[in-house]
Chains A and B, each alone.
Chain A
């Protein structure tokens, strides 16, 4: 063995524990679930036989499959969330900058839901939505109610990100525009929006990714009801995996289908994430 061989190994010892954990709980686990998705699989018994792509076929093509229904519900939730976030967070951030005093106070208050356990928020709104007209008991209002809860909870977080984006716009652009006689709307339309584009794309993509995964509010408040109107994909996966015996393989197949859908947006996010970090 040549001298320095062990010293050459030192860096690998530094990264080994972190690397093992992160890889085990991402790639390895996805591999295991791919394996499980090709089997009849039970959480306690394990595999009870290879079934090929039957679980996928069942989710995608079977007559009694709820996959497309839950996917549709999830996408509806995502769309409502994105619109809700964009029409609240941008005005909030712009207003917050104009407030003569107490900016820090508002930022703190608006941010609270981001650091409150989702279970607690869901338990509170379970009652509030009841008080405001049984919103969760009707299949046409339950999903919008859940989406509005998501928007409420994310408002401060998104506001903080947009505030940072606004702060990066050089003030002289506005000064120049004013010298040229541009009004407030024109300044917003031709300076704020284009300069904020990357931030808005980032916020949108982050909202899409996190809304695709919504679970806690559904689990606490509606259990997917009424009439399956709030059964989102993450909830379906959970129920199949842990509430129905022997459906772990099917649930794994659903998880992989969700992965494929969300991956598209995650790729987008990674590209933005990297370009941002280069700037930083």
Chain B
């Protein structure tokens, strides 16, 4: 090893594993509780080991005894909370709303940010510096402060309680433009000159030269935008009142209010809301973690 370890590696390992348990526990609790029946959860809120009832039914089934699994039309009881969440909790609709918002926002953000970033990186026009600084300055107003003000804009535009009202403010962002511009600036200009000599104009150059070379930056920004859009809560909460348009985050927050909340079902829905991003993150984290530490983005 290049450097003397700080304390023993074994000590570090122990501490990190303890920390890992602390990080994982809430997730295990969520998943474990999501498999309990309502009664099991009421009797025992603490344990994360699932589903005494389900295990019993399963064992009974295996032994050939009477079991809930044999009831006509019985759903696989282990999945019951998930099935119910989708069937009665509108989770299916909420999930697809979340996906629709996230996809629209990601596509729009990539498209408009690329255009602006390319202009700021490669074109010369009057007021470029002033406009770019103005753009950066828009980042200085924090989101919580903007909640009411942006609602007033959406209200003026008559977009309250519409899909457009939810997605429009996220169609472009100074941060994304900044990130892409930095990346574009590092692409050798000679490549563009060569393309120009071959008879390419502005748009084809952007499309055929710049973008293929910028894949890492585009993937990072795209994933990041998707995650932020999927997780957004306050903004749709403020803009929407029609339940049919709720993303999952807002839908979940209203589950809690319904009298005698069915918590195992809420946990099942929560897990379905968190799982897609966890999968996406695990697959694509090399694009994300690097970008995050580079620039201080925050989900």
How many residues of chain A have a CB within 8 Å of chain B?
101
Query: Which 8 A/B pairs are nearest by Cβ-Cβ distance?
Result: A213-B144, A29-B149, A14-B119, A18-B172, A33-B149, A18-B116, A164-B293, A98-B12
Residue of B118, B248, B267 near A117 (CB, 8 A) is B248
5 A-B pairs in the complex with CB atoms less than 8 angstroms apart: A17-B115, A18-B171, A22-B172, A27-B141, A95-B16
**Nearest CB in chain A: distance from B132 CB, A:** 9
Besides A26-B138, A234-B147, 20 other CB < 8 A contacts?
A: A11-B123, A14-B119, A15-B116, A29-B152, A32-B152, A92-B16, A96-B12, A96-B16, A98-B9, A99-B12, A111-B281, A112-B281, A119-B273, A120-B270, A121-B26, A127-B29, A127-B263, A155-B23, A160-B293, A252-B152
Residues of A within 8 Å of B152, CB to CB, are 29, 32-33, 36, 248, 252
Q: Are A117 and B149 in contact (CB under 8 A)?
A: no
**Nearest CB in chain B: distance from A82 CB, A:** 15
- The bracket for how many chain B residues form the interface is 35 or more
Residues of B within 8 Å of A111, CB to CB, are 281, 285, 289
Residues of A within 8 Å of B13, CB to CB, are 99-100, 102
Residues 61-85 of B contacting A (Cβ, < 8 Å) = none
Residues of B within 8 Å of A120, CB to CB, are 30, 249, 252, 270, 273-274
Given A98-B9, A110-B23, A160-B292, A241 and B298 contact (CB-CB distance below 8 Å): no
Residues of A within 8 Å of B120, CB to CB, are 15
* B-contact 0/1 string along A234-273, CB 8 Å cutoff: 1001100110000010011001101100110011001001
Q: Is A130 part of the contact surface with B, judged by Cβ < 8 Å? A: yes
Q: Are A123 and B140 in contact (CB under 8 A)?
A: no
Residues of B within 8 Å of A127, CB to CB, are 29, 33, 45, 263
Q: Is the interface of A mostly helix, strand, loop or mixed?
A: helix
Stretch from A49-57, A65-73, A135-143, A215-223 forming part of the interface with B: A215-223
Q: Is B207 part of the contact surface with A, judged by Cβ < 8 Å? A: no
Q: Is A43 part of the contact surface with B, judged by Cβ < 8 Å? A: yes
Complex Cα spacing A152 to B23, Å = 8
Complex Cα spacing A109 to B16, Å = 11
Q: Are B256 and A21 in contact (CB under 8 A)?
A: no
Residues of A within 8 Å of B141, CB to CB, are 26-27, 30, 259, 266
Complex Cα spacing A247 to B256, Å = 26
Q: Are B148 and A114 in contact (CB under 8 A)?
A: no
Residues of A within 8 Å of B293, CB to CB, are 160-161, 163-164
Complex Cα spacing A248 to B4, Å = 60
Complex Cα spacing A247 to B163, Å = 26
Tell me which of B46, B112, B277 has the highest count of chain A C-beta atoms within 10 A of its own C-beta.
Answer: B112
* A-contact 0/1 string along B273-285, CB 8 Å cutoff: 1100110011001
Q: Are A124 and B26 in contact (CB under 8 A)?
A: yes
Q: Is B125 part of the contact surface with A, judged by Cβ < 8 Å? A: yes
Q: Is B233 part of the contact surface with A, judged by Cβ < 8 Å? A: yes
Residues of B within 8 Å of A206, CB to CB, are 296, 298
Q: CB within 8 Å of A: which residues of B?
A: 2-7, 9, 12-13, 15-16, 19-20, 22-24, 26-27, 29-30, 33, 45-46, 112-113, 115-116, 118-120, 123-125, 128, 131, 134-153, 155-156, 168-169, 171-174, 177-178, 182, 202, 227, 230-231, 233-234, 238, 248-250, 252-253, 256, 263, 266-267, 270, 273-274, 277-278, 281-282, 285, 289, 292-296, 298-299
Residue of B at shortest CB range from A164?
B293
Q: CB within 8 Å of B: which residues of A?
A: 8, 10-12, 14-15, 17-19, 21-30, 32-33, 36, 43, 91-92, 94-100, 102, 106-121, 123-128, 130-131, 152, 155-157, 160-161, 163-164, 171, 174-175, 178, 184, 202, 206, 209-210, 212-213, 215-216, 219-220, 234, 237-238, 241-242, 248, 251-252, 255-256, 258-259, 262-263, 266-267, 270, 273, 276-277, 280
**Nearest CB in chain B: distance from A120 CB, A:** 4
Given A15-B131, A130-B45, A242-B238, A124 and B29 contact (CB-CB distance below 8 Å): yes
Q: Are B231 and A213 in contact (CB under 8 A)?
A: no
Q: Are A29 and B150 in contact (CB under 8 A)?
A: yes
Q: Are A106 and B131 in contact (CB under 8 A)?
A: no
Residues of A within 8 Å of B123, CB to CB, are 10-11, 14
Given A21-B169, A22-B138, A22-B174, A251 and B231 contact (CB-CB distance below 8 Å): no
